[in-house]
A and B are shown apart, each in its own frame.
Chain A
Amino acid sequence: MKKPTSIVPVDTTFGSVINTKSMEMNDPLHPSAHIGRVSPSPFLFTRIQAKVDAMQDAPQQMGWVSWTSIAVGLVLILFIEVVAVRSGFSSAKVDITKNFSSPTEQLY
Protein backbone atom coordinates (compact mmCIF):
# COMPACT_ATOMS: atom_id res chain seq x y z
CA MET A 1 0.00 0.00 0.00
CA LYS A 2 1.32 3.41 -1.00
CA LYS A 3 1.87 5.86 1.82
CA PRO A 4 0.81 9.51 1.42
CA THR A 5 3.70 11.82 0.62
CA SER A 6 2.84 14.33 3.29
CA ILE A 7 0.67 14.07 6.32
CA VAL A 8 -1.37 17.21 6.88
CA PRO A 9 -2.45 17.72 10.48
CA VAL A 10 -6.15 17.08 10.84
CA ASP A 11 -8.20 20.20 11.57
CA THR A 12 -10.13 19.02 14.59
CA THR A 13 -12.14 22.25 14.80
CA PHE A 14 -13.48 21.83 11.25
CA GLY A 15 -17.21 21.47 11.25
CA SER A 16 -17.49 21.93 15.00
CA VAL A 17 -19.70 24.63 16.44
CA ILE A 18 -17.65 27.57 17.60
CA ASN A 19 -18.57 28.77 21.02
CA THR A 20 -19.56 32.32 20.12
CA LYS A 21 -20.38 33.06 23.72
CA SER A 22 -16.80 32.53 24.86
CA MET A 23 -15.59 34.67 21.96
CA GLU A 24 -17.94 37.38 23.02
CA MET A 25 -16.73 37.01 26.59
CA ASN A 26 -13.15 37.53 25.41
CA ASP A 27 -13.96 41.02 24.19
CA PRO A 28 -17.05 42.32 25.90
CA LEU A 29 -16.44 45.74 24.36
CA HIS A 30 -17.31 44.37 20.94
CA PRO A 31 -20.96 43.78 20.04
CA SER A 32 -20.03 40.52 18.20
CA ALA A 33 -21.99 41.70 15.19
CA HIS A 34 -21.41 44.52 12.77
CA ILE A 35 -23.24 47.77 13.47
CA GLY A 36 -23.52 49.53 10.14
CA ARG A 37 -23.48 53.23 9.40
CA VAL A 38 -26.91 54.72 8.79
CA SER A 39 -27.81 57.78 6.72
CA PRO A 40 -30.31 60.21 8.19
CA SER A 41 -33.48 61.19 6.36
CA PRO A 42 -32.76 63.36 3.27
CA PHE A 43 -35.31 65.86 4.62
CA LEU A 44 -33.50 66.33 7.92
CA PHE A 45 -31.42 69.26 6.72
CA THR A 46 -34.52 70.96 5.26
CA ARG A 47 -36.14 70.74 8.70
CA ILE A 48 -33.04 72.17 10.38
CA GLN A 49 -32.86 75.02 7.84
CA ALA A 50 -36.56 75.79 8.38
CA LYS A 51 -35.98 76.05 12.13
CA VAL A 52 -32.97 78.33 11.61
CA ASP A 53 -35.04 80.58 9.30
CA ALA A 54 -37.83 80.69 11.89
CA MET A 55 -35.31 81.66 14.57
CA GLN A 56 -33.95 84.47 12.38
CA ASP A 57 -37.47 85.90 11.93
CA ALA A 58 -38.35 85.48 15.58
CA PRO A 59 -36.18 88.31 17.08
CA GLN A 60 -37.78 90.94 14.75
CA GLN A 61 -41.25 89.76 15.71
CA MET A 62 -40.21 89.62 19.35
CA GLY A 63 -38.93 93.22 19.16
CA TRP A 64 -42.22 94.48 17.72
CA VAL A 65 -44.28 92.54 20.27
CA SER A 66 -42.19 93.66 23.23
CA TRP A 67 -42.28 97.39 22.28
CA THR A 68 -46.04 97.23 21.79
CA SER A 69 -46.57 95.48 25.11
CA ILE A 70 -44.38 98.05 26.90
CA ALA A 71 -46.38 100.93 25.34
CA VAL A 72 -49.72 99.32 26.21
CA GLY A 73 -48.47 98.68 29.75
CA LEU A 74 -47.39 102.31 30.19
CA VAL A 75 -50.74 103.63 28.91
CA LEU A 76 -52.54 101.23 31.25
CA ILE A 77 -50.49 102.34 34.27
CA LEU A 78 -51.09 106.02 33.38
CA PHE A 79 -54.83 105.39 33.07
CA ILE A 80 -54.97 103.60 36.44
CA GLU A 81 -53.01 106.43 38.08
CA VAL A 82 -55.34 109.09 36.67
CA VAL A 83 -58.42 107.17 37.74
CA ALA A 84 -56.99 106.60 41.22
CA VAL A 85 -56.05 110.27 41.69
CA ARG A 86 -59.46 111.44 40.46
CA SER A 87 -61.34 109.05 42.74
CA GLY A 88 -59.03 110.09 45.59
CA PHE A 89 -59.98 113.75 45.16
CA SER A 90 -63.66 112.98 44.88
CA SER A 91 -63.62 110.73 47.97
CA ALA A 92 -61.77 113.49 49.91
CA LYS A 93 -64.55 115.91 48.98
CA VAL A 94 -67.12 113.48 50.26
CA ASP A 95 -65.21 113.18 53.54
CA ILE A 96 -65.14 116.93 54.05
CA THR A 97 -68.83 117.46 53.38
CA LYS A 98 -69.78 114.35 55.37
CA ASN A 99 -71.75 114.60 58.58
CA PHE A 100 -69.72 112.90 61.26
CA SER A 101 -71.91 110.69 63.29
CA SER A 102 -69.65 108.45 65.39
CA PRO A 103 -67.55 109.96 68.25
CA THR A 104 -64.31 108.60 66.76
CA GLU A 105 -64.96 110.34 63.46
CA GLN A 106 -65.81 113.57 65.24
CA LEU A 107 -62.34 113.61 66.83
CA TYR A 108 -60.80 114.07 63.40
Chain B
Amino acid sequence: MLNLEDTYKQFGERVFNIALQYLRNVEDAEEVTQDVFLTVYNKQSQFEGKAQLGTWIHRIAVNKSLDFIKARNRQKRGGGLISYLTVTTDNVAQPNNDLNHPGVALEHREVVSKWFHRIDQLPENQRTAIVLVRIEEFSPVEAAAIMDLSVKAVDSLLQRAKKNLLKIELKNEGK
Protein backbone atom coordinates (compact mmCIF):
# COMPACT_ATOMS: atom_id res chain seq x y z
CA MET B 1 0.00 0.00 0.00
CA LEU B 2 1.33 3.39 -1.08
CA ASN B 3 1.90 6.03 1.58
CA LEU B 4 0.32 9.03 -0.10
CA GLU B 5 1.97 11.62 2.14
CA ASP B 6 5.46 10.27 1.53
CA THR B 7 4.79 9.99 -2.21
CA TYR B 8 3.53 13.56 -2.28
CA LYS B 9 6.56 14.80 -0.34
CA GLN B 10 8.85 13.07 -2.80
CA PHE B 11 7.14 13.96 -6.09
CA GLY B 12 4.53 16.65 -5.36
CA GLU B 13 6.65 19.66 -6.22
CA ARG B 14 7.94 18.12 -9.46
CA VAL B 15 4.44 17.12 -10.53
CA PHE B 16 3.18 20.64 -9.78
CA ASN B 17 6.00 22.20 -11.79
CA ILE B 18 5.43 19.90 -14.78
CA ALA B 19 1.76 20.92 -14.78
CA LEU B 20 2.74 24.57 -14.38
CA GLN B 21 5.03 24.46 -17.44
CA TYR B 22 2.10 23.22 -19.53
CA LEU B 23 -0.70 25.31 -18.07
CA ARG B 24 1.13 28.45 -16.83
CA ASN B 25 -1.51 29.02 -14.23
CA VAL B 26 -1.06 28.19 -10.54
CA GLU B 27 -4.70 27.25 -9.83
CA ASP B 28 -4.90 24.97 -12.87
CA ALA B 29 -1.55 23.37 -12.03
CA GLU B 30 -2.76 22.66 -8.47
CA GLU B 31 -5.94 21.10 -9.82
CA VAL B 32 -3.92 18.84 -12.10
CA THR B 33 -1.53 17.93 -9.24
CA GLN B 34 -4.52 16.97 -7.10
CA ASP B 35 -5.91 14.87 -9.95
CA VAL B 36 -2.53 13.18 -10.46
CA PHE B 37 -2.25 12.08 -6.84
CA LEU B 38 -5.86 10.87 -6.74
CA THR B 39 -5.12 8.78 -9.84
CA VAL B 40 -1.92 7.49 -8.23
CA TYR B 41 -3.89 6.50 -5.12
CA ASN B 42 -6.72 4.85 -7.09
CA LYS B 43 -4.54 3.04 -9.59
CA GLN B 44 -1.66 2.02 -7.35
CA SER B 45 -2.60 -1.64 -7.89
CA GLN B 46 -2.04 -1.13 -11.63
CA PHE B 47 1.53 0.02 -11.04
CA GLU B 48 3.50 -3.06 -11.98
CA GLY B 49 6.83 -1.83 -10.79
CA LYS B 50 8.40 -2.26 -14.22
CA ALA B 51 9.15 1.46 -14.33
CA GLN B 52 10.28 3.54 -11.39
CA LEU B 53 7.50 5.05 -9.28
CA GLY B 54 8.67 8.55 -10.20
CA THR B 55 8.58 7.79 -13.92
CA TRP B 56 5.01 6.48 -13.60
CA ILE B 57 3.85 9.52 -11.60
CA HIS B 58 5.55 11.98 -13.95
CA ARG B 59 3.94 10.24 -16.94
CA ILE B 60 0.53 10.65 -15.30
CA ALA B 61 1.36 14.33 -14.71
CA VAL B 62 2.19 14.87 -18.40
CA ASN B 63 -0.98 13.08 -19.57
CA LYS B 64 -3.23 14.87 -17.09
CA SER B 65 -1.78 18.26 -18.09
CA LEU B 66 -2.40 17.59 -21.78
CA ASP B 67 -5.92 16.32 -21.00
CA PHE B 68 -6.61 19.46 -18.98
CA ILE B 69 -5.57 21.66 -21.91
CA LYS B 70 -7.78 19.68 -24.30
CA ALA B 71 -10.76 19.91 -21.93
CA ARG B 72 -10.24 23.65 -21.58
CA ASN B 73 -10.08 24.06 -25.35
CA ARG B 74 -13.30 22.08 -25.72
CA GLN B 75 -14.94 24.39 -23.18
CA LYS B 76 -13.70 27.44 -25.09
CA ARG B 77 -15.11 26.05 -28.35
CA GLY B 78 -18.49 25.59 -26.68
CA GLY B 79 -18.18 22.03 -25.37
CA GLY B 80 -20.66 19.28 -25.98
CA LEU B 81 -20.74 16.44 -28.45
CA ILE B 82 -19.89 18.57 -31.48
CA SER B 83 -16.49 19.55 -30.12
CA TYR B 84 -15.75 15.89 -29.35
CA LEU B 85 -16.59 14.97 -32.92
CA THR B 86 -14.74 17.89 -34.46
CA VAL B 87 -11.42 16.69 -35.83
CA THR B 88 -8.61 19.20 -35.51
CA THR B 89 -6.10 19.26 -38.32
CA ASP B 90 -2.90 19.34 -36.31
CA ASN B 91 -3.64 17.66 -32.96
CA VAL B 92 -2.14 20.63 -31.14
CA ALA B 93 -3.55 21.39 -27.71
CA GLN B 94 -3.42 25.12 -27.11
CA PRO B 95 -2.75 26.12 -23.49
CA ASN B 96 -3.84 29.29 -21.78
CA ASN B 97 -2.10 32.37 -23.14
CA ASP B 98 -2.30 34.32 -19.87
CA LEU B 99 1.02 33.76 -18.15
CA ASN B 100 0.47 33.27 -14.41
CA HIS B 101 3.82 31.62 -13.72
CA PRO B 102 5.52 32.62 -10.44
CA GLY B 103 8.76 31.00 -11.65
CA VAL B 104 9.22 33.69 -14.28
CA ALA B 105 10.58 37.02 -13.09
CA LEU B 106 8.46 40.04 -13.98
CA GLU B 107 11.13 41.56 -16.23
CA HIS B 108 11.38 38.33 -18.24
CA ARG B 109 7.67 37.74 -18.47
CA GLU B 110 7.25 39.17 -21.96
CA VAL B 111 10.18 37.25 -23.46
CA VAL B 112 9.15 33.98 -21.82
CA SER B 113 5.52 34.51 -22.77
CA LYS B 114 6.54 34.86 -26.42
CA TRP B 115 8.71 31.77 -26.15
CA PHE B 116 5.85 29.78 -24.63
CA HIS B 117 3.58 31.04 -27.39
CA ARG B 118 5.96 29.58 -29.98
CA ILE B 119 6.23 26.31 -28.02
CA ASP B 120 2.41 26.08 -28.01
CA GLN B 121 2.42 25.82 -31.79
CA LEU B 122 4.42 22.58 -31.68
CA PRO B 123 2.90 19.11 -31.64
CA GLU B 124 2.29 17.62 -28.19
CA ASN B 125 5.22 15.18 -28.16
CA GLN B 126 7.75 17.86 -29.20
CA ARG B 127 6.37 20.20 -26.55
CA THR B 128 6.60 17.45 -23.93
CA ALA B 129 10.23 16.78 -24.84
CA ILE B 130 11.04 20.50 -24.35
CA VAL B 131 9.13 20.72 -21.06
CA LEU B 132 10.84 17.65 -19.62
CA VAL B 133 14.40 18.08 -20.92
CA ARG B 134 14.82 21.84 -21.29
CA ILE B 135 12.60 23.32 -18.57
CA GLU B 136 12.31 20.56 -15.97
CA GLU B 137 15.86 19.41 -16.69
CA PHE B 138 15.19 15.70 -16.70
CA SER B 139 18.01 13.73 -18.28
CA PRO B 140 17.24 12.42 -21.79
CA VAL B 141 17.12 8.91 -20.29
CA GLU B 142 14.53 9.96 -17.68
CA ALA B 143 12.50 11.91 -20.26
CA ALA B 144 12.56 8.91 -22.60
CA ALA B 145 11.27 6.67 -19.79
CA ILE B 146 8.47 9.14 -18.94
CA MET B 147 7.45 9.46 -22.61
CA ASP B 148 7.83 5.70 -23.14
CA LEU B 149 10.24 6.31 -26.01
CA SER B 150 13.88 5.61 -26.75
CA VAL B 151 16.53 8.22 -25.96
CA LYS B 152 17.17 8.54 -29.68
CA ALA B 153 13.49 9.30 -30.30
CA VAL B 154 13.51 12.05 -27.64
CA ASP B 155 16.63 13.55 -29.19
CA SER B 156 14.96 13.43 -32.59
CA LEU B 157 11.88 15.18 -31.17
CA LEU B 158 14.08 17.96 -29.78
CA GLN B 159 15.83 18.38 -33.13
CA ARG B 160 12.50 18.57 -34.96
CA ALA B 161 11.19 21.00 -32.36
CA LYS B 162 14.24 23.19 -32.92
CA LYS B 163 13.66 23.25 -36.69
CA ASN B 164 9.96 23.96 -36.23
CA LEU B 165 10.64 26.78 -33.76
CA LEU B 166 13.04 28.42 -36.21
CA LYS B 167 10.37 28.18 -38.91
CA ILE B 168 7.77 29.69 -36.57
CA GLU B 169 10.21 32.47 -35.67
CA LEU B 170 10.87 33.25 -39.33
CA LYS B 171 7.16 33.17 -40.09
CA ASN B 172 6.48 35.60 -37.22
CA GLU B 173 9.22 37.93 -38.46
CA GLY B 174 7.74 37.87 -41.94
CA LYS B 175 4.37 39.05 -40.66
Chain A interface residues toward B at CB < 8 A: 24-25, 27-41, 44-45, 47-49, 51-52, 55
Contacts and interface: CB of A to CB of B under 8 A. Distances in A.
Contacts of B21: 35
A34 B169 CA distance: 20
B70 interface: no
B134 A29 contact: yes
B161 A29 contact: yes
Contacts of A36: 102-105
Contact of B34 (A32, A37, A44): A44
24 contacts: A28-B166, A29-B161, A29-B162, A29-B165, A31-B111, A31-B112, A31-B115, A31-B116, A31-B135, A33-B111, A33-B115, A35-B101, A35-B112, A37-B103, A38-B102, A39-B13, A39-B16, A40-B12, A41-B30, A44-B16, A44-B30, A48-B8, A51-B38, A55-B38
Interface SS of chain B: helix
B29 interface: yes
Contacts of B4: 48-49, 52
Interface string B35-47: 0011001100000
Interface of B: 4-5, 8, 12-13, 16-17, 20-21, 26, 29-30, 33-34, 37-38, 41-42, 101-105, 108, 111-112, 115-116, 118, 130, 134-135, 158, 161-162, 165-166, 169
Given A25-B169, A37-B17, A44-B33, A52 B38 contact: yes
A93 B4 CA distance: 70
Most B-side CB within 10 Å, residue of A27, A28, A30, A39: A28
Nearest to A41: B30
B162 A45 contact: no
Interface SS of chain A: loop
Contacts of A25: 166, 169
Most A-side CB within 10 Å, residue of B5, B26, B115: B115
A24 B42 CA distance: 43
A51 B105 contact: no
A32 B13 contact: no
